[in-house]
Structure 1
């Protein structure tokens, strides 16, 4: 998210009727930011992979990019909702996102030496993986 988006999300959480119950606000904000960024980067990486001359070799990467983008987008939306979250569902969604980011990042790293867009994607996936892990840890505390 851009700085203005992050500021808007911070204000939104602060003005939420359950603001007093929203714990771990920094971990939450970082996770939301990382999820939405990763979704956009993975979608763009899939598109860039489609333009590569060695398209057949890129099929697993494209698939993981698109799966990761969908999971990250959903995770960002789920963790944004603060009214009555189900802890088990929230943890499962964060774990799914973490796994998708790890798989996508690992695949993109394989291509990072030849395709700069894959290097950028691997970095975004790693950031999202770390943010999901941090929010999971904060929720467990």
Structure 2
């Protein structure tokens, strides 16, 4: 169990997203990042003759892990929220999870860690696709970043 739901429920201002769905996406992203990191490490532990075939998979795993971690962080912050940034980050994460899922799927028959990772990427990609319409920019975002900052007293 994570603290994600509890943290979102204690946020004192309006979030503008359904908190349970948002918590699920954040947790799914965190899980995917960990799974991709572990899969990259497992790929590196395969026999030396396998490494050339796994090189792209390792790269895709590491890219996906970093993008999922960043997306989780962006989705966890709501003060000075800019839907344009969040929307772009979610789109990047959708692409990263799709690319990594496809890459791992190519090796899933021979490497169980790649099968598990492909599944985690597919689940995360779906969760992000479900969230994407809810973070669509409305055109009402501040024109300058300074206008998005919380007002001081």
- Does the TM-score normalized on the shorter chain lie above 0.5? yes
The whole-number CA distance in structure 1 between the counterparts of 2:53 and 2:105 is: 14
Partner of 1:120: 116
Partner of 1:36: 30
In 2, are the aligned partners of 1:22 and 1:82 still within 8 Å (CA)?
A: no
Greater share of helix residues, 1 or 2? 1
The one of 10, 13, 18 aligned to 2:8:
13
The whole-number CA distance in structure 1 between the counterparts of 2:15 and 2:26 is: 18
The whole-number CA distance in structure 2 between the counterparts of 1:88 and 1:41 is: 28
The one of 73, 84, 89 aligned to 1:93:
89
- Report the CA distance between 1:22 and its aligned residue: 3.8
The whole-number CA distance in structure 2 between the counterparts of 1:134 and 1:56 is: 35
- Report the CA distance between 1:47 and its aligned residue: 0.2
In 2, are the aligned partners of 1:39 and 1:73 still within 8 Å (CA)?
A: yes
The whole-number CA distance in structure 2 between the counterparts of 1:112 and 1:38 is: 16
Residue 106 of structure 2 aligns to a residue whose secondary structure is: helix
Count of aligned pairs: 135
Larger Rg: 2
In 2, are the aligned partners of 1:101 and 1:128 still within 8 Å (CA)?
A: yes
Q: TM-score, normalised by structure 1?
A: 0.91
In 1, are the aligned partners of 2:8 and 2:23 still within 8 Å (CA)?
A: no
In 1, are the aligned partners of 2:86 and 2:135 still within 8 Å (CA)?
A: no
The whole-number CA distance in structure 1 between the counterparts of 2:102 and 2:40 is: 15
The one of 111, 126, 129 aligned to 1:133:
129
* Structure 2 residues not aligned, in runs of 5+: 139-153
Say whether residues 1:64 and 2:60 are aligned partners.
Answer: yes
Task: Name whichever of 71-80 and 22-31 sits farther off.
Answer: 22-31
In 2, are the aligned partners of 1:67 and 1:100 still within 8 Å (CA)?
A: yes
In 1, are the aligned partners of 2:4 and 2:26 still within 8 Å (CA)?
A: no
